[in-house]
Structure 1
Amino acid sequence: MWPRLLLNLRSTRLYFSNIRRYDTELAWTRSRFTTDADGEGRYIDGALPMVASIGANWNISSALSTSLRLRHFGERTLDSFNDMTSNDFTVVNWGSSYKIGQWQFQLDALNLFNSNDHDIDYYYASRLAGEPASGIEDVHFHPIEPRTLRFAVRFAF
């Protein structure tokens, strides 16, 4: 059983001046196995069918710049029959940097709006005390990191 991936990827960058820059990226995939395996479907677990990104960058001065980026991840199948799917989610990140001589200071805000979406979902059987030995199939997930501020200092020599 071999996977077949059909991919359509588009990227657009727009430069209005040296001050403003915008970009978009969009990717679609249609992932399926080419043949059926016994007792399994044709969907590929975890395959992400759509990702979109849009960003804006501003060079406010030769020393100061800022950017804003929105990323969207579509629903993905969690089992080979496509009976279970994850929720889609969107996250926004912001960043700004300032240069003084050989020094650069940068501040980033990740997950700017403090989304509580799932970063990734899995569907499998697990077992807690008192549950059947075969376990219970359910969605397990890792939450997206909460709003995070990151500060960095660089020195070029």
Structure 2
Amino acid sequence: MHHVCCYDRVRNGRAIDHLRGAGYPAAADWHWNIATPQARRSLARLAPQLTATTRIRHFASAPLLEDESQRSQATTLVNLGGYWEMVRVRFGVDVLNLFDAKDPDITYWYASRLPGEPVEGVEDRHTHPVEPRQVRVSLRYAL
């Protein structure tokens, strides 16, 4: 059985070291399909109480099988945010998946069976798509 793992911070193999330190086996065959995310974030103070952010997240293609005969599709997402802050109140608007990307959020390769297919199933790619574009509004109040 193989696992696909994703992390917010991966630099020069640190995620693999972190996994081994978390009780995962140190065997060399388990880390071949860890996707390496890369994120860029920018923050701009537009006015004393107004802040804007941009976040670009890219997950490169990763092998789904040890022989790399099947690979996942790369995924890139862009999010925007705008926040207005007073002393104890913060109002925010976020646009997630700004360009409404249809990329896969995660991809697996395994055998599955539909009606009429062989009992042993058919090996194929299975994906979960990213969430469609959405706008989220938030209000925070500090006690």
What range is the shorter-chain TM-score in?
0.7 to 0.9
1:120 aligns with 2:103: no
Cα separation, partners in 2 of 1:28 and 1:75, compared to 1, 3 Å: farther
Distance in 2 (CA, whole Å) between partners of 1:130 and 1:103 is 58
Cα separation, partners in 2 of 1:43 and 1:100, compared to 1, 3 Å: closer
Q: Identity of paired residues, percent?
A: 33
Distance in 2 (CA, whole Å) between partners of 1:83 and 1:44 is 16
- The one-character-per-residue Cα deviations of 1:108-148 (angstroms, maximum 9, x if unpaired) are 11111100000000000000111000000000000000001
Distance in 2 (CA, whole Å) between partners of 1:68 and 1:145 is 18
Distance in 2 (CA, whole Å) between partners of 1:147 and 1:125 is 31
Matches within 5 A, 1:17-56: 27=11, 29=13, 34=28, 42=29, 44=31, 46-48=33-35, 50-56=36-42
The equivalent of 2:123 in structure 1 is 137
The equivalent of 1:107 in structure 2 is 93
Cα deviation for residue 28 of structure 1 reads: 5.2
2:77 to 91, 107, 113: 91
Aligned length: 125
- The one-character-per-residue Cα deviations of 1:29-55 (angstroms, maximum 9, x if unpaired) are 5x7x53xxxxxxx5746311x322222
1:80 aligns with 2:62: no
Give the structure with the larger strand fraction. Answer: 1
The answer for unaligned runs of 5 or more in structure 2 is 1-8, 17-26
Aligned structure 1 segments of 4 or more residues deviating by more than 6 angstroms: none
Cα deviation for residue 62 of structure 1 reads: 2.1
User: TM-score, with normalisation over the residues of structure 2?
Assistant: 0.78
Give the structure with the larger helix fraction. Answer: 2
Q: 8 Å contact 1:43–1:79 — kept in the other structure?
A: no
The answer for unaligned runs of 5 or more in structure 1 is 1-24, 35-41
Cα deviation for residue 27 of structure 1 reads: 3.5
Root-mean-square deviation (Å): 2.3
The equivalent of 1:21 in structure 2 is none
